[in-house]
Amino acid sequence: MRQGYSWVHNWAANAALRQISHDPKARIEMSVVPMKQEKLIKDDFEDVLKGIYSYIALIIYILPMYTYILRMQVEKQQGMKRHLSIVGLSFKAQYLAQFVSYTMHLTLITIGITLTMYFGNLFPKSFANSKLLMFLFTWVQGVSNFGFIVMIVSLLPHNMYPKLAAKWGSLIYFSSSFVDFTI
């Protein structure tokens, strides 16, 4: 493909040269000069990411997921909606408070991971080029799990024991992640 483009480009350049110089024998020889390549630095981030990131993310977020499913199930059993309506608040305020709390925990976990990558000299080229992207890549993965937590809590029965609900929710997250690996 690349040589075909060079050939067509050279043909057009020769036609233009013949037209401008009024010499039917004028031509430019097509030659390819090899390009010098500087030292190659290979960063293994992409290979590692393809192979094990999904397992790492699973392990990192399983504990916060367990904790927040447990907390939401306890609040569901205690009738938090009713208590909030007595005070004059909607249940949306409770979800917002839980999201802010989850986001703070998640940010601390992500900062820990980013510092580990920095001081452990993991993925030096990727980290040197885009510290913020490395941070956001991990952080957004965690934020997306909050929606999963809310979905699991709303699907679990109201009267299910909270620790059992948290274990089932974590198990559903764990098993659904392994289904994703096979696809």
For the stretch 112-165, pLDDT in tens is 888 887 887 777 777 777 888 888 888 888 888 888 888 888 888 878 888 888
C-alpha separations of 25 from 55, 66, 166, 177 in Å: 66, 80, 83, 68
Give the end-to-end CA distance of the chain in Å, rounded to a whole number.
Answer: 33
Instruction: Work out the pLDDT band at 107, boundaries 50, 70, 90.
Output: very high
Give the chain's length: 183
Average of per-residue pLDDT values in the chain: 80
pLDDT, residue 31, reads 67
Q: What is the mean pLDDT of residues 102-109?
A: 91
pLDDT band of 100, cuts 50, 70, 90: very high
Residue 1, pLDDT > 60, answer no
* Contact by Cβ (8 Å): 54, 141: no
Residue 90 structure tokens: 């909607």
Residue 34 has what pLDDT? 65
Contact 54, 62 (CB under 8 A): no
Higher-pLDDT residue of 178 and 27 is 27
pLDDT above 90: residue 104: yes
d(CA 165, CA 167): 5
